[in-house]
Amino acid sequence: MPDPDATANGHVNLVLVSHSVEIAHGLADLVGQIAGPDVRIVTAAGAIDGSLGTDGGAVLDAIRSASTGGGALVLVDLGSSVLSVRAAVAELSDEESGRVAVADAPLVEGAVAAGVAASTGCTLAEAAEAARGARDAAKL
């Protein structure tokens, strides 16, 4: 995983929210290898008891911890993760929410695209656009 201390280097940070700890950590490893150590990647995954699901408090904590430097781009898998992110964003102060964007993007492809963009020192809006652009990437 990328350097967890790379919090105030000006790069956009990524928050990966998934029902599965394994998916989130595996994706963080993948994106970290592609984006390099300057892009901080935080995960919020799994329910409180370790089962599949989401923990709204963990989502809020992850977003807050990543909203330093160039801000936090949040990518979400599906269902209750989306609801948890919406609830967490509603809890942020105006100052905090100004440093957070949620990408309407596929989790894996969006995270990779956003990670690459963030590694170039782009803005939060540019990283979000890179993630959204991954929706249209043909695989075959």
Domains by residue range for the chain, with CATH: 13-129 (3.40.50.510)
User: In the prediction, which pLDDT does 4 show?
Assistant: 40
Q: Is 40 helix (H, G, I), strand (E, B) or coil?
A: coil
User: In the prediction, which pLDDT does 5 show?
Assistant: 41
User: Which spans in the chain are helix H?
Assistant: 21-35, 56-66, 80-91, 94-97, 107-119, 124-133
User: In the prediction, which pLDDT does 88 show?
Assistant: 97
User: In the prediction, which pLDDT does 26 show?
Assistant: 98
User: In the prediction, which pLDDT does 19 show?
Assistant: 97
Q: Is 94 exposed, middle or buried (0-12, 13-18, 19+ CB in 10 A)?
A: exposed
User: In the prediction, which pLDDT does 40 show?
Assistant: 97
User: In the prediction, which pLDDT does 9 show?
Assistant: 60
What is the block-wise mean pLDDT of the chain (140 residues), using blocks of 10 residues? 48 98 98 97 96 96 96 96 96 96 97 98 97 92
Helix axes 107-119, 124-133, angle to 10 degrees: 140
